[in-house]
Amino acid sequence: MKGPLLGVLVFAAMVSASAIGFRLQRSKKYYRILLAELPLGLITFFLVWRATPATLGFLPEAWLEPSPLVDAGAGALICVLLFHCFWDTVYLLHAGLSAQVLVAIDEDPTLDEARFLRSLGAEKDVDLILGWRIPNLIRGGHVEPVGTEFRLLPRGRLVGGFTRLLKRILTGEDGGG
């Protein structure tokens, strides 16, 4: 029980550290902080796990995992699973289009699709979504610009192909999103 409990506590500390880090960072590249936090959090977890008694001073005998390896492993696993949920939540809050639609409708119930599209620059050559995602794909080495076109690179082909396969398995279709 010590491992899972410490896993949850370290995760809570990581969330607090994120809130500070996000405020200190000037750009909106939150993933950099999250990426740095994961290994640091896991190192902290193992150090705290090693330094503390099995009962943490209050756990009853019946709640102790006899195998230290399993106890530490379960704690680290719980910490990673929680952190993955948190990471995804951060990006839902930051970049989730459906979330932004909901907030916009809450602010103005007369909002319709056409007006929301205009607010995203739909009538421009490059709208806000394309102007955001295409440079990301180029920076990430997934596509490269060739004249007025974009060519898929091996990394993009791997990710795109794998996503397409998973989508077919899970939904039976290529579309959606």
Partner 1 sequence: MAKAILLGAALELVPILAMILAAHVARTRSIFRAGQLGFLATLAAVVPLYLATPADLGFLPERFARTPRALGAASAFLLCVLFWFNEAQVFFYVTRSITLRMLVEFAKSENGVLDVPHLRATYGLDSMIHGRFEALERNGWMRTEGGRRVLAPKARLAVACLRGWRRVLGLDFYLELE
* Span 33-52, contacts to partner 1 by CB under 8 A: none
Pick one of 31, 35, 47, 161: the residue that binds partner 1 (CB under 8 A): 161
CA distances from 167 to 32, 94, 117, 174 (A): 28, 24, 26, 6
Q: Angle at CA 162, nearest 5°, toward 137 and 136?
A: 10
Residue number, 47 or 158, with CB nearest to partner 1: 158
Neighbours of 76 (CB within 10 A): 20
Minimum CB–partner distance for residue 67 and partner 1 (Å): 5
- List alpha helices for the chain, DSSP H: 2-24, 30-51, 68-95, 97-107, 113-119, 128-139, 154-171
Q: How many residues of this chain bind partner 1 (CB under 8 A)?
A: 91
Contacts of partner 1 in 57-86 (CB under 8 A): 62-67, 69-71, 73-74, 77-78, 81-82, 84-85
What is the footprint of partner 1 within residues 99-138 (CB under 8 A)? 99-106, 109-113, 116-122, 125-130, 132-134, 136-137
* 32 lies in the binding site for partner 1 (CB under 8 A): no
